[in-house]
Structure 1
Amino acid sequence: MKYVVVSGGVISGIGKGVIASSTGLLFKTRGFKVSAIKIDPYMNIDAGTMSPLEHGEVFVLDDGGEVDLDLGNYERYLNVTLTRENNITTGKIYSHVIERERKGDYLGKTVQVVPHITNAIQDWIERVAKIPVDDSGEEPDICIVELGGTVGDIESAPFVEALRQFQFRVGPENFALIHVSLIPVVNGEQKTKPTQVAVRDLRGLGLSADIVACRCTHKLEKATTDKISMFCHVGPDQVLVVHDLSSIYHVPLLLDQQKIVEQLSKKLKLEKISVNPAFVNKGSSLWSDWKHLTSTHDRMFESVTIALVGKYTHLKDSYISVVKSLEHSALRCQRKLTINWVEASDLEPDTLTSDRVNFHKAWHEVCKADGILVPGGFGSRGTEGMIAAAKWARENDVPYLGICLGLQIAVIEYARNVLGYKDAFSEELVEEPTENPLIVFMPEVSKTHLGGTMRLGLRPTKFQADTEWSKLRKLYGGGEVVHERHRHRYEVNPKYVPELEEKGFTFVGKDELGERMEIFELKDHRWFVGTQYHPEYLSRVLDPSKPYLGFLAASSGILDTMI
C-alpha cells in the first residue's frame, strides 16, 4: 500500500481537498485503484451536529456516516464509495482508546497520547486504507490521506506525530507528502516567506515535503519558484503552481501538466505495482472523458440562472454538494451556470418593513431566474420565504426542485393554497402544534439525542404504479427502484396523502413499504419535483444526479432532449 499525505500551511481552506482529489484522479487515470481518508482534528465524533454556517455542509455516505464535506470531493472525483471509517476525528480516536482502556486492553499501562493515541491513528489509517471502495472488490493500491486544518495547530499535533511515525512504519518507498501553502501577493510582489515558515515548521515536526503545492491567484514567477525550491529543500520541479482557474475541474489538468504523478512515482516506486490492463484502459477512457468535459466548459456560451433559496447562503460551502450537482448538470447540458444566492428570510413580508432594499432585491433574483431550488435545512428561520418561492414557481410554471426540506415546503405550500389548509405547517417549524400538521416527526427517531439519530444513508425508493409519465422516472431509466442517500427527521404526514394526490400533487416515489413519501411531481408543469432524499450526495462529475439534471435541463428549455 502506498500513502500520499496532503497537509496544509499558512491558512486553512486553501484547496487541500481539491488537490487531494485531483491527485487521486490522476492516479486512477494511470490504472491504479485509489482510496481516500480525511483527518479532522476536532473533538466531535462526526460532523452531524455541526452548524453548516461554521463547518460547511455535512456530507452523508451510503452507510449513514455524517462526515466532512471533503469526502464528497473524493467520491465525486474518484467515483468511489467511502465509509464513515474514512473520516477520522479526534473524538473517534479518543473514544476508541478510552473504550480499550476501560476493557483493560492496555494491561495496566499509563495511557498517553504517545504512544497510545498515535498508534491508534496509525492502526486506523492502515486498516481503512485496505477497504475496497469500488465494484472490483479489490484492495486499493494508493490511499490519499488529507490532514485537515493547518500544520502547527495545537489540535492537530497528535496526528502530525502519528504521521511522522507512520512514514517509518510503512517505509520511505510507501510514503509521500504534498504540502499545500499559500503564496500571497503584497503590492504586486509574490511573497514566499509564509511558505518558507510553514515548511520549516513541518520539517521541525519530523515531516519533509516531497512536493510543495503553491496556491496563488496567478502563475508564479520563476524567481518565486526558485526561491521556494531553495528554502524549502525541494527541487524546482517539485514546486507545483496551483493558481486560480475558471473551474476546479481544470485542476487535474494543471497538475498533470506539471507531472505530479511522475514526481510521486519516483518517490513511491509505482512501477513496482502490477496494474491490471483493464484498469489502465478504463483510466485512459476516464481521462479522455474528463478532458473533453473541461474543454466543453471553456466553449459554452449559453447560460442558465438558478435561484438557490436557502438559509445558510452566507457560507457557500453549506451547500457545496448542491452546487457541484448543479455544475455537473450544467456541464452535461452545456450551459454556463449562474447561481443567484437568495436568503430565504429576505423573501418574507416582515423584511419589506425592516429592509425594503433586500426584500425587493431577493424577489428580483427569484423572478428573473430560470429555475428555483430549495435545498435542505433545519429550523423555522426563512421557511415562509421558501414557501413563497415555491408558490411563485408553481403558479408561474417555473422549474422547481425541492430537496428534503424543499419537498416539505412544497407540500405545505400546496396544502395551504390548493387544499385550503391555511394553518398547514410542519411540527419542526412551530412551537405549538397546529390542527393540520402536514409534516410530522418520524416515530422511530430520537428526540433527546441529535448525533447520528436521523434517517440516514442509502435507502430504496420505489416508483408507484401508473407513474410512467413521470419525467424524473424516465431520467432514472424507467425502472421501478432507485437508491439514494437520506438525512432527515421529519416526513410527510400520510394522513393527508390521499387528499393531496386527489388534487394533483402526486407522490410518484415512496419507500419500499409504501409508507414514506420520497418523490413528488406535478404532471402538468414544466418541472415541479421534490425529493425527500438528497440526490446531490451521489452526483458525479461525469454522471450527474438525475433530479438535478432534469431540473437544469428544464430550466434550460432542453428537457425533451434528455428523456
Structure 2
Amino acid sequence: MTKFIVVTGGVISGIGKGVIASSTGTLLKSLGLRVTAIKIDPYLNIDAGLMSPLDHGEVFVLNDGGEVDLDLGNYERFLDVELSRINNITTGKIYSEVIEKERRGDYLGKTVQVVPHITDAIQNWIERVAAMPIDESGEQPDVCIIELGGTVGDIESAPFVEAMRQFQFRVGQENFCLIHVSLIPVVGSVGEQKTKPTQMSVRDLRGAGLTPDLIACRSSAPLNEGVRAKISMFCHVAPEQVLAVRDVSSVYHVPVLMRDVGMIEFFKRRLSLDQIQIPQDRQLQGQKLWNNWLELTQSYDRLFDTVTIAIVGKYTNLHDSYISVYKALEHASLAYRRKLEIRWIEATDLEPEKNKTDPIQYHESWQNLCGADGILIPGGFGSRGIEGMVLAAKWARGHDVPYLGICLGMHIAIIEFARNICDMPDAYSAEMNPKTKTPVVIYMPEISKTHLGGTMRLGLRSTFFQPGTETTSIVRKLHGGKESIQERHRHRYEINPEMVATFEGKGLQFVGKDESGKRMEIVELDNHPFFVGCQYHPEYLTRPLKPAPLFNGLILASLGGLKKA
C-alpha cells in the first residue's frame, strides 16, 4: 500500500510548501524508498500554460508536453525523477473530467455535486498517480507526496481539503500523514515571534476535518522553545511535532535541517516505513544520494570565488519567472566551485528610450551588463524589451562575452546577427512584427492560430548534431560527442529555414537540427569563446548533482576556461 504525505499551507501563500514537500521526498529517497509527487493547484485553468510569469512564476514543461506549476520543477530536481502532466491536478482538470462524464451519462441521472462527485474525482486521480510506475522498472511508488496549493481557508481550496478529509479514511490513518506549513511572523523591535496566525490556521484546518501530524513553522530565526511549547499546546500536537524551518543560506540545506531534528524517525513511526521491504541495492543508492547531498550543501557553504551572469529578461521583477534558469546556473556554478552572482536586467532598461525617461536606471543597467562575466537571454513572448535584448546580444558578440540564448534568446541572436553582419537592417521576428519584410523568425506552419492553450511545440524532442561537427562544435563536446540529444521544447516560432544558408555563410553555424533537418535547434558563432543559442529549454532537465551541459559551458566560458576543458 502506498503511503501518502499531504502538505498544506496557512497564513500566506508562497510560504515554501514546495520546498518542504521536495525536501521530505529527498529524505525518504535517502532510505531507498520510491517517491512520486503531486501538485494540486486550485485555480480553474486547465494548466499553467497561459498564465503570466509575472502573476504565477515560471511555466515548467514536462517530457510529455505538460505545462505545469513551477513546483513540479522543484520535485524533479530534488527527487531526480521525471513526472508527467497527470502529476499536476487543477480545478479545471477535475471539473472538465466530471462534466465530460456527466455528458456521457456516466452518473445515470444523478444530480452531479461537489460532494461526492468532485471529491471522488480528486481522490481517484491521486490513486491513479500512486498506481503508475515511476520509472523503467515498472515499480509503483512507496510514497506519494501531495502538495495542496493555496492557503487553507480559501474558497477555491475547499473541495480539495474535503477530498483529503475523505481520503485519509479511504487509505487508512496508518498510510496518511499531514504536514501543515505555517508562518511565524516576527513583530516589533524586540523581535517577538507570534504564534496566533498559526493557531488560527490550524484551527481552520481542524475545522475542515484534518489534523496536522507535523506543523512546519517558517521563521526568519530559530524557533524559541517557549514558542514551540505554545504552538504545541494550542494546536494539540506534541512538541516534537512542531518543526522549526528557519531561513537558511540555500534550499539545499532544508533536507539536512529536517533530518537533524528527527524527521526520518518520525515518518518511520507515523507511517510504519520499516514494514516496507527495501532491496539492498536501493538502500545503498539512497545512502549514496544522501552522501552526495551532504557534500553539495557543505561545498555551497565553502564557496568564496564568484561568477557573475547577467540575465536580460522581460519578467525580472519576479525572479520566480526564471527559477529553472537560475537553478541551472546555480547547479553549474557549484560544479565549478563558484558562488553564483546574478545581475537581473530588465530588457527595456537597456533601450535608448530609457535614457530619456530614467537615465540613472539606464546607465546602471548597462554597467551591470558590461561588467558581467557572461550573458544569458531566456525565453519569453511578446514585443516588449526586444530591442534591449538585441543590444545585449550585440554587446556579447562584439566583445567576446560568453552568451547563451534560450528559445527567444536564440531568436534574438539571429535578429542581431542578421541586422549587423548580414546587412539586413529590417530583420525581425514575425512574432513581434507580422508584416516585417525580412522575417528571420517565422510562425511554425503546423501550430494553431486560433487556440493558444497547449498548442505550442511542447515536450521532449530530439536534436541531431550535423555531420562534421564532431570536432568543431562546442555544444557537441559539452554533450560528450553524442550524435543526438533529447530536450524539452516550448515555442511557436522558429528560425526561417530559407535564410539559414545566408547566416552560415557569415559564420553562424546551425550545428543541431530536428529529424527533418529543416528546424534549427542549436546555433554557434565561429571565432567566439561561447556564443550559443538553442531552441529548446535546457534548464528544465538540470539537477543539483547533474547540471545541464549548456549551462556548464556558459559558466566555464565565463571563467575563461572553456578552451582548456
Q: TM-score, normalised by structure 2?
A: 0.98
- What residue in structure 2 maps to residue 403 of structure 1? 406
Q: What is the letter of the counterpart of residue 531 of structure 2?
A: F
> Does the 8 Å contact 1:470/1:523 carry over to 2?
no
> Does the 8 Å contact 1:179/1:211 carry over to 2?
yes
Kindly report which structure 2 residues correspond to 1:379-398, keeping only aligned pairs within 5 A, or say none: 379-398=382-401
Q: What is the letter of the counterpart of residue 87 of structure 2?
A: N
Kindly report which structure 2 residues correspond to 1:403-422, keeping only aligned pairs within 5 A, or say none: 403-422=406-425
User: Residue 140 of structure 1: SS of its match in structure 2?
Assistant: coil
Q: What is the letter of the counterpart of residue 456 of structure 1?
A: L
1:197-239, CA deviations, whole angstroms, 9 ceiling, x for partnerless residues?
1011100100000000000001011111111111111111111
What fraction of aligned residue pairs are identical, expressed as a percent? 65
> Does the 8 Å contact 1:6/1:146 carry over to 2?
yes
Q: What is the letter of the counterpart of residue 323 of structure 2?
A: I
1:211 lines up with 2:243 in the alignment = no
- What residue in structure 1 maps to residue 177 of structure 2? 176
- What residue in structure 1 maps to residue 449 of structure 2? 447
- What residue in structure 2 maps to residue 295 of structure 1? 298
1:275 lines up with 2:278 in the alignment = yes
> Does the 8 Å contact 1:404/1:488 carry over to 2?
yes
CA distance in 1, matches of 2:148, 2:56: 16
1:463 lines up with 2:501 in the alignment = no
- What residue in structure 1 maps to residue 85 of structure 2? 84
Q: Give, in angstroms, the shift of residue 403 of structure 1.
A: 0.3
Q: Give, in angstroms, the shift of residue 352 of structure 1.
A: 1.1
1:505-563, CA deviations, whole angstroms, 9 ceiling, x for partnerless residues?
001100011110000111311111111000000001110011111101111223246x4
> Does the 8 Å contact 1:306/1:338 carry over to 2?
yes
- What residue in structure 1 maps to residue 552 of structure 2? 549
Gaps of 5+ in 2: none
User: Residue 316 of structure 2: SS of its match in structure 1?
Assistant: coil
Aligned counterpart for 1:424 among listed residues 406, 427, 432: 427
CA distance in 1, matches of 2:340, 2:166: 46
CA distance in 2, matches of 1:488, 1:146: 29
Kindly report which structure 2 residues correspond to 1:114-125, keeping only aligned pairs within 5 A, or say none: 114-125=115-126
Q: Give, in angstroms, the shift of residue 470 of structure 1.
A: 1.3
1:166-207, CA deviations, whole angstroms, 9 ceiling, x for partnerless residues?
000000010000000000000110001100110111001000
1:96 lines up with 2:106 in the alignment = no
Kindly report which structure 2 residues correspond to 1:36-435, keeping only aligned pairs within 5 A, or say none: 36-187=37-188, 188-431=191-434, 433-435=435-437
Gaps of 5+ in 1: none
CA distance in 1, matches of 2:456, 2:212: 41
Aligned counterpart for 1:484 among listed residues 482, 487, 491: 487
User: Residue 110 of structure 2: SS of its match in structure 1?
Assistant: coil
CA distance in 1, matches of 2:477, 2:388: 31
CA distance in 1, matches of 2:179, 2:59: 26
CA distance in 1, matches of 2:478, 2:558: 15
- What residue in structure 2 maps to residue 526 of structure 1? 529
Structure 1 stretches of at least 4 aligned residues deviating more than 4 Å after TM superposition = none
CA distance in 2, matches of 1:387, 1:108: 60
Q: Give, in angstroms, the shift of residue 133 of structure 1.
A: 2.3
1:26-79, CA deviations, whole angstroms, 9 ceiling, x for partnerless residues?
100100000000000000000000000001000000000000000000000001
CA distance in 1, matches of 2:559, 2:41: 39
1:152-175, CA deviations, whole angstroms, 9 ceiling, x for partnerless residues?
000000000000000000000100
User: Residue 102 of structure 1: SS of its match in structure 2?
Assistant: helix
User: Residue 111 of structure 2: SS of its match in structure 1?
Assistant: coil
Q: What is the letter of the counterpart of residue 48 of structure 2?
A: A
CA distance in 2, matches of 1:98, 1:215: 39
CA distance in 2, matches of 1:264, 1:201: 24
User: Residue 145 of structure 1: SS of its match in structure 2?
Assistant: strand
CA RMSD between the two structures: 0.8
- What residue in structure 2 maps to residue 8 of structure 1? 9
CA distance in 2, matches of 1:504, 1:162: 59
Q: Give, in angstroms, the shift of residue 267 of structure 1.
A: 1.2
Q: Give, in angstroms, the shift of residue 301 of structure 1.
A: 1.0
Q: TM-score, normalised by structure 1?
A: 0.99
> Does the 8 Å contact 1:97/1:120 carry over to 2?
yes
1:116-170, CA deviations, whole angstroms, 9 ceiling, x for partnerless residues?
0000000000111221223332111000000000000000000000000000000
The alignment of Structure 1 onto Structure 2 pairs a total of residues equal to 561
- What residue in structure 2 maps to residue 21 of structure 1? 22
- What residue in structure 2 maps to residue 508 of structure 1? 511
